[in-house]
Amino acid sequence: MRVKICGITQPQQGKAIASFGATALGFICVPTSPRYINIEQIRAVVEQLPEKIDKIGVFANTSVPEITQTVVHSGLTGVQLHGDESPEFCQQLRQLLPDIEIIKALRIRSFEDTEKAETYTSNADTLLLDAYHPQQLGGTGTTLDWTMLQQFRPSCPWFLAGGLTPENIIQALTQITPSGIDLSSGVERAPGDKDLDKVAKLFEKLHSKC
């Protein structure tokens, strides 16, 4: 199972989190976010990471040229679209960045929202289901109704996000079986400042479940 820790801002924390066993790190490329970092800062973290780690830039309603520029200059291996991007937008991005993983994030309020997710499976490599919040796009600490996702069987891999913590991760994974999990605020001291003790505890819990 993939384990993505999102909202990385500091090179040493990124390196440490990769050593714990994270398979992907996420970088927030949304300027209004408290976890935002620019191209140079992303590159400073990426340079500390093993090649096998996926490096995902998180964007929201950003233009295709701006996303492409960020990817090319920062060393990202994937793009997570967390705004109102359409399947056609994903396809346009795919044509310009054929070797980059495209993750489409969807904020889920009801089971009907999970049905909408299927419309992206032809144009995105991976889906990410996050909790809905009226003002914030992610990192809110709000959990999804996991029972609502028990019938969710998309035709592509998917991440579970939304309020996951070392304390509730086993409960979540006993109810549903995502392809990966994505944590941000659940392993932080403050936005963008990861708590390495919490990250270590997360991997202890995951290893105990295996």
What residues does each domain of the chain span? 2-209
pLDDT at 76: 98
Q: What is the C-alpha separation between 44 and 31, in angstroms, rounded?
A: 18
CATH of 2-209, one of 1.10.760.10, 3.20.20.70, 3.40.50.720, 3.40.50.920: 3.20.20.70
| Catalytic status, residue 197 | no
14 and 193 in contact (C-beta within 8 Å)?
no
pLDDT at 12: 97
pLDDT tens per residue, range 102-154: 999 999 888 888 888 889 999 999 999 998 554 545 555 678 889 989 889 99
Tokens of 157: 């891999």
Residue 115's Cβ-count burial label (10 Å; 0-12, 13-18, 19+) is exposed
Instruction: Choose, from 29, 54, 90, 130, the residue flagged as catalytic.
Output: 130
pLDDT at 141: 62
0.85 exceeded by pTM: yes
pLDDT at 131: 83
| Catalytic status, residue 6 | yes
pLDDT at 112: 83
Check pLDDT > 90 for residue 183: yes
For tokens 């359409």, the residue is 86
pLDDT at 143: 85
| Lowest mean pLDDT segment, chosen from 23-27, 47-51, 90-94, 133-137 | 133-137
Instruction: Choose, from 6, 29, 54, 90, the residue flagged as catalytic.
Output: 6
